Copies of this chain bind each other. A is one copy, B any other.
Amino acid sequence: MRTATRRLKHWGWGYEDQQPPRDQVEGIAKAVTDRLGFEVDEIEEPVPLDAVDLPEPRLKPPSELAGMFSAELYDRAAHSLGKAYRDVVRGFRGEFPNPPDLVAYPESPEDVDAVLNWCADEGAAAIPYGGGTSVVGGVEPRMRDDYPAVVTIDLKRMDRVLEVDPVSKAARIQAGATGPGLEEQLREHGLTLRHFPQSFEYSTLGGWIATRAGGHFATLETHIDDLVESARAVTLNGEWESRRLPGSGAGPSPDRMLIGSEGILGVIVDAWVRVRERPTEKVSCGVAYDDFAAGTEAVREISQSGLYPSNCRLLDAMESDTTSAGPPGKALLVLGFESAHHAVEEPMSLAQDICRSHGGDLGDVRRSAAQTPGDDPVNAWRSAFLQAPYLRDSLVACGVLSDTFETAITWDRFPDFHAEVMETAKRAVAEASGAAAEGRGSPRISCRFTHIYPDGPAPYYAVLAPARRGDEVSQWDEIKAAVSETVVDAGGTITHHHAVGRDHRPWYDRQRPDPFADALRAAKRELDPKSVLNPGVLIDP
């Protein structure tokens, strides 16, 4: 397999061989100036791995398990950070303040059990790790100084589709399988999970479940939660395995307690997930609106119509412009229906009627996805979506701040909420960037809906601004704190699908019901009395 010889970058997005050469980054720098109006005074080079210096590992693996551990510089550096902007910046500069002492690569649930129990015996923190694409500090060993050692447990060697049930349309898949890895194995059976988060290429099923990842579908199965039929985790109290059931009413759902637990209760090792036949019918359409508010009303009506589009992503004019998706100055709704069973022209036509009644300017309906980008707004946007994390690495080199935040809110509160969030974001970004809020070269703050529900949207905000070179982390942290305050004060959730991790803790702590936090802490103490499992995520032990 080709990928066996490829290594992921130790600091940014993708494989080492995907790092763009200097002349490509220069092209990006030119586009940054031409399109965004940001001056690029210098293109920095990332600090190479051999210039990185890490403290010595504080713990040696036991001889009987030694084969599954690594204490190599590459492994430790590559597992030191997630993939938030603040992580990429630090990795780019060669800053790895909290490296794990060891990285374990178990190959079976028994291996996981052995590593975990050894960690507990040693009092070492144990961080379950999938693709490492956390954007909320979920895998960074920030507790390093409070523990005698930190061991990151990387599930990448547990990447197989173990069983396929073509009758019930379900598959048992190991936690370490990446998006492309599991889709490739499912394709042999004519099946697909169709869970495509932006991190799809590198993130894993176990990571999706641990963090309640959001996927491809704009309606119905928005989160991985909805696709989990049963899950299995290794805990320090033994195996947590739920039954394969299409539905149940037997007490609080065990799966729903594991889903979103971010590694604090155990290590997810595999899960039965609901898969489906690959869609044969696909239609998509772009709809332009003069303003975001009109598009919002159309989307609200669609969300309450029972039509369930697979794609229903509303981009504001700024987002549409940044990604060259739609006509200038217009909000763009990217609407799509798909089915493996029947034609979807009728629901598309009904949805278009709704779009039209709210003043939408309808583009052509395209059957299936066109194979090339170009002038198709739907494809243009999808391509930009998947390329964004790669591009971000070059933006860091060019001194451009690029990050996002996301939430969900009910429709009745959305207009005021959105206005408040945008106002806060504009002010905070201007203050933190020293750039004028308006005019050429001003920061770009845009919004889109990633998922919609009958009772409200999940708005996703993206920020592009001139970076304070060398001080990017503080710059973003200032912005992030300001917008998080507003999001939570105005009734939103601190995260719709990015998880809580360590970065969202102050606001999560205000959001969740106190007795629920009491219950979760008690559950944690019961299953992990020494508090070795991913300490500091979600709750304080």
Contacts and interface: CB of A to CB of B under 8 A. Distances in A.
Most buried by B among A212, A253, A350, A525: A253
Interface stretch (A5-13, A179-187, A319-327, A403-411): A403-411
Interface stretch (A98-106, A166-174, A282-290, A359-367): A166-174
Interface string A236-270: 01111111111111111110111111100110000
A515 interface: yes
A139 to B, nearest CB: 16
Interface in A397-443: 408-412
A265 B410 contact: no
Given A246-B408, A408-B246, A520 B252 contact: yes
A76 interface: no
Interface stretch (A110-118, A372-380, A489-497): A489-497
Contact of A260 (B241, B242, B251, B500): B251
Contact of A304 (B262, B276, B411, B508): B276
A176 interface: no
Contacts of A244: 410, 491
Given A248-B493, A249-B495, A522-B523, A339 B515 contact: no
A213 interface: yes
Interface residues of A, number: 99
A412 to B, nearest CB: 4
A306 interface: yes
B254 A256 contact: no
B458 A512 contact: no
Contacts of A216: none
A193 to B, nearest CB: 13
Contacts of A306: 308, 339-342
A503 B436 CA distance: 68
A246 B168 contact: no
Interface in A492-535: 492-500, 504, 508, 511-516, 518-523, 525-527
B252 A223 contact: no
Given A213-B249, A220-B220, A235 B515 contact: yes
A101 to B, nearest CB: 27
Interface stretch (A119-127, A152-160, A383-391, A448-456): A448-456
Copies of this protein in the complex: 2
A501 to B, nearest CB: 10
Contacts of A516: 240, 242, 254, 257-258
A133 interface: no
A499 B408 CA distance: 31
A165 interface: yes
A336 interface: no
A95 interface: no
Given A244-B410, A305-B341, A515-B235, A520 B454 contact: no
A492 B511 CA distance: 36
A212 to B, nearest CB: 4
Contact of A513 (B242, B458, B498, B515): B242
B515 A266 contact: yes
Contacts of A451: 247
A516 B233 CA distance: 11
Nearest to A520: B252
A222 interface: yes
Given A168-B456, A522-B526, A223 B243 contact: no
A463 B308 CA distance: 39
Contacts of A243: 491, 493, 511
A214 interface: yes
A253 B258 CA distance: 10
Interface in A448-495: 451-458, 491-495
Contacts of A274: 454-455
Contacts of A308: 306, 308
A346 interface: yes
B518 A254 contact: no
Given A515-B527, A526-B519, A410 B245 contact: yes
A66 to B, nearest CB: 28
Given A229-B455, A246-B454, A521-B526, A412 B513 contact: no
18 contacts: A165-B412, A167-B412, A168-B455, A169-B304, A169-B455, A214-B249, A240-B513, A240-B515, A243-B493, A248-B495, A248-B496, A250-B494, A251-B512, A253-B260, A254-B513, A265-B515, A306-B340, A518-B523
List 6 tightest A-B contacts by C-beta distance, closest first.
A246-B456, A522-B526, A246-B453, A519-B523, A256-B256, A212-B249
